[in-house]
Amino acid sequence: MKLDEAGTVAHRLVIDTATRQSTVALGRGRTMLAESIRVSEHRHGALLLEQIADVLERAGVARRDIAAIGVGTGPGSFTGLRVGLATAKTLAYALGVPIFGIPTGRAIACGVADAEGTDASQLAVILPAGARDHYLALPDDEPRLLAPGTDLAAIRADLVAVAVDLAGTDLGPEATGRGVVGLRGLGDAMLALLDERVASGPADDVAALVPVYVALPRGIAPTVGGMAWSPDLR
């Protein structure tokens, strides 16, 4: 593991492709050196390597100087998550550096909390899950599917909604605004969460690290050996 003079991990790369935005940031510890944010929709694979090269060039850092990688694990876009995880894992393996999975919902909540001075433990991050359903990422719980129109107060009375990629829904403009804030601060939040992971414990196993699949796309079902086609999960 590459260390700086203080004995801590130096240059760190973070990647998140769980939303319609593709985020790549390079930092020294928690300090942001360069960031690339692209509205990728469903084109994460076409943009991600270019974004990584861009942040390295702007920061004047060689790929071999990356000392740790953090990658968003979702919930979110099925294809986007697979692109991000595959890219991050390939880089970690090739460079021989540790990789750490970072829950996207938690990172977005931390971005909102840092920007607005709110309590991240009260923020419920809601993302699109297919054409009708939503993903709900709570601070201290596993992500779950949330039917449109569900009252968050029925889940927990103190929850405040953060709507990501859900403009025009019944969640309201304030929730949508928080989602914009959370995405804007995602790179900084991921660097901070990666710093916590590096300081607190072991890295994730490259082979075992997988996205958080709250629900798989129609026609795909989990099996003992991986995945297989199925008629319809819903």
Domain-by-domain residue ranges, the chain? Answer: 11-104+186-215, 106-182
Span 35-71, pLDDT tens digits? 999 987 666 667 899 999 999 999 999 999 999 999 9
The C-alpha atoms of residue 110 and residue 118 are separated, in whole angstroms, by 9
The reported pTM is: 0.86
The 10 Å Cβ neighbour count of residue 104 is 35
User: What 3-state class would DSSP assign to 138?
Assistant: coil
Yes or no: say if 37 and 30 are a contact pair by the CB < 8 Å rule.
no
With CA atoms as reference, report the closest residue to 61 among 8, 13, 99. 13
Q: What would the pLDDT profile of 184-209 be if each residue is shown by its tens digit?
A: 999 999 999 999 999 998 999 998 99
Q: Which of 125-139, 203-217, 219-233 has the lowest mean pLDDT?
A: 219-233
For the domain 11-104+186-215, what is the CATH code?
3.30.420.40
pLDDT of residue 37: 95
Question: pLDDT digit string (tens) for 124-160?
Answer: 999 988 767 889 998 788 888 887 778 888 888 889 9
138, with CB counted inside 10 A (0-12, 13-18, 19+), is buried
